[in-house]
Amino acid sequence: MSIILDKVNYKYSESTVYEKHALKDINLKINDGEFIGLIGHTGSGKSTLIQHLNGLMKATSGAIYYNGEDIYAKDFNMRTLRSKVGLVFQYPEHQLFETSVIKDVSFGPRNLGLPDLEIDLRAYEALKQVGIGEDLIDASPFELSGGQKRRVAIAGVLAMKPEVLILDEPTAGLDPKGRDEILDRIALLHKEQKITVILVSHSMEDVAKYVDRILVMNKGELIFDNTPKNVFAHYKELENIGLAAPQVTYVMNRLRDQGIRVSTSPTTIKEAKEEILRWAKGEIL
């Protein structure tokens, strides 16, 4: 299973004085089971890109293939695509509307016309996956904390059994504890179910900690597509487009500049700790 973008372009207000080229010749392959980070400054094209992946926006030119099928073909089932490529928008709790948690999470599967038993099983499983216990299933979503609301909203997408889960700033507005809880749950889901995850984030620390591959957007173009280590090695270029690297990257480069012969490749605190200990033990010459 994969999603392939072939020379995808998108223009807002095409052929008017307000025309804006939001995506420019995007060539991209998203493989089954990957954990991908998508970063870029505001207006770089991130949100536009992810809304193309499940057909919410249609490319001005170019092609998109899902599992080998052209999603713009006349006989392609767009409804199936949107159930398989789940998109969680920023502040998804604003989309909660039912009178209870379980009803809200059941809404998507019910619209698929599934049997009641299957709907219930999917809803309960999805709530368990995001860490919402049985004591909250009959509660009003509006009585929950911010982090709990966020998890319920994500459960509503998981109940659709997506093969690809796209999260647009899933931790925006949450405190550090709530942020870690959400991302740890998503990482566990990726590990256990091999689901493809695309995480849009402004936090370089979160991206470095969780993802295996980073896509960097700038002015509608995909300018980097590589591992976290290889992308953050270009931290000065990232700074030029309004981004940064994890703080650890700057620390390791500063140590190196002061003559301490450590590698500058660590992108997480754990990796930096191990590298510094290796130097302290004399394992690095």
Residue 47 scores a pLDDT above 90? yes
pLDDT digits (tens, 9 = 90+) for 69-99: 999 999 999 988 998 999 988 877 888 888 8
β-pairing, 213-218 vs 196-200, is unpaired
**Mean pLDDT for the stretch of residues 248-269:** 93
281 within a domain of the structure (yes/no): no
CA distances from 8 to 11, 15, 36, 119 (A): 10, 18, 19, 36
- Rg (C-alpha) for the chain, rounded Å, is 21
In the chain, the number of structural domains is 1
Tell me which DSSP letter residue 90 carries. Answer: S
| Residue 46 within any structural domain of the chain | yes
- Above 80 in pLDDT, residue 275? yes
Range of the domain at 196: 34-55+77-227
Q: Which DSSP state fits 101?
A: H
Share of residues in the chain with pLDDT > 90 (%): 74
- Tell me, yes or no, whether 70 lies in a domain: no
Residue 56, pLDDT > 90, answer yes
pLDDT at residue number 172? 84
Both tokens of 97, joined, read 């509307």
Instruction: Determine, yes or no, domain membership for 118.
Output: yes
- The confidence score (pLDDT) of residue 242 equals 93
Sequence-distant (6+) residues with CB within 8 A of 239 are none
Residue 282 pLDDT greater than 80, yes or no: yes
CATH code (residue 106): 3.40.50.300
Whether the predicted pLDDT of 7 surpasses 90: yes
Of 153, 205, 210, nearest in space to 176 by CA? 205
- In this structure, is the dihedral angle defined by the CA atoms of residues 141, 146, 147 and 153, taken in order, positive or negative? positive
Domain assignment present for 178: yes
What does the alpha-carbon distance between residue 45 and residue 20 come to, in Å, rounded to a whole number? 11
What mean pLDDT is predicted for residues 101-122? Answer: 92
Q: Report whether 262 contacts 279 (CB < 8 A).
A: yes
Tell me the residue type at 105: V
Collapsing DSSP to helix, strand or coil, 185 comes out as helix
User: How many CA atoms lie less than 13 Å away from 194 in the CB half-sphere?
Assistant: 4
Q: What is the pTM of this model?
A: 0.91
Flag whether 163 is in a domain.
Answer: yes
- Cβ contact 126:177 at 8 Å: no
Task: Output the pLDDT for position 285.
Answer: 61
Tens digits of residue pLDDT in 12-46? 988 888 889 999 999 999 999 999 999 999 899 99
pLDDT of residue 1 exceeding 80? no
Whole-angstrom distance between the N-terminal and C-terminal Cα of the chain?
Answer: 45
Per-residue pLDDT of 138-187, as tens digits, reads 999 988 888 888 899 999 999 999 999 999 998 888 888 888 888 998 99
130 found inside a domain:
yes
Answer whether residue 176 is part of any domain: yes
pLDDT tens digits along 187-200: 999 999 899 999 99
Higher pLDDT, 105 or 17: 105
Percentage of residues of the chain with pLDDT beyond 70:
99
What is the average per-residue pLDDT within 48-68? Answer: 95
Compute the distance between CA of residue 90 and CA of residue 203 in angstroms, rounded to an integer.
Answer: 14
Q: Using CA atoms in the order 222, 174, 133, 85, what is the torsion angle rounded to 10 degrees? A: -20
